[in-house]
Amino acid sequence: MKFTILLSKKTFIYYSIIGLPIIIGSFYNLVDGLILQKNSTVHIGAFSLFGFILLPLGLFWLYFHNKCIITTDGMRIGKFFYEFSKHNFQIIEKELPFKDRPIFSTFKKKYYDLIIREINTSKVIFEKDLDVFQKDIEKIKNLIPYR
């Protein structure tokens, strides 16, 4: 059994949708301004650098640092592997006041956190807001063991 999910799926989808026209516009700006020299070079600067280089790099970073693979032995988040036998996994539901809610889901009242603790010391090793859909939270709850 192997289940792969992105822990910040909603944020990744949002920036992918918004990022596509920005990447296309900055590529057009780069080609039209620098290569064909139809526009002045003032239009090339930060917009082309942000949209053409930094935004795709940010999306790759977001994907690889929030990628979660759940297997029968444990959970891998990014580069780190947390074994089910050595760690305690919890998904905690919380309610946030309106002023503390994220901009992507302002009208949602219930939010979830994934907390990983060591069994021996009860020290929190990993804590992350789950920015995924409700069906993904249910899948994660079914796959991780509760103690």
For residue range 6-60, what is the model confidence (pLDDT) as tens digits? 999 988 998 889 888 888 877 777 777 767 777 665 555 556 666 777 888 889 9
pLDDT of residue 45: 58
The answer to whether residues 126 and 87 belong to one domain is yes
| Rounded-to-integer distance, Cα 6 and Cα 123, Å | 24
* Structural domain that includes position 37: 2-67
Q: How far from 14 is each of 3, 7, 51, CA to CA, in Å?
A: 23, 14, 15
**Do 52 and 106 sit in the same domain of this protein?**
no
Per-residue confidence (pLDDT) for residue 44, from 0 to 100: 54
Residue 62 sits in the same domain as residue 85: no
Are 51 and 23 within 8 A, CB to CB?
Answer: yes
- pLDDT, residue 30, reads 75
Q: State the pLDDT at residue 23.
A: 82
Overall domain count for the chain: 2
Of 15, 50, 67, the domain-final residue: 67
Residue 36 tokens read as: 């064909």
| pLDDT reported for residue 47 | 61
Q: Which residues contact 57 (CB under 8 A, 6 or more apart)?
A: none
Q: What pLDDT does residue 147 have?
A: 57
- pLDDT attached to residue 115: 94
pLDDT attached to residue 119: 92
pLDDT at 37: 72
Tokens representing 109 are: 């009242």
* Residues 74-125: tens digit of each pLDDT: 999 999 999 999 999 999 998 888 887 777 677 777 889 999 999 999 999 9
Exposure b/e, 87-101, CB count within 10 A at least 16 = b? bbbeeeeeeeeeeee
> What mean pLDDT is predicted for residues 57-70?
92
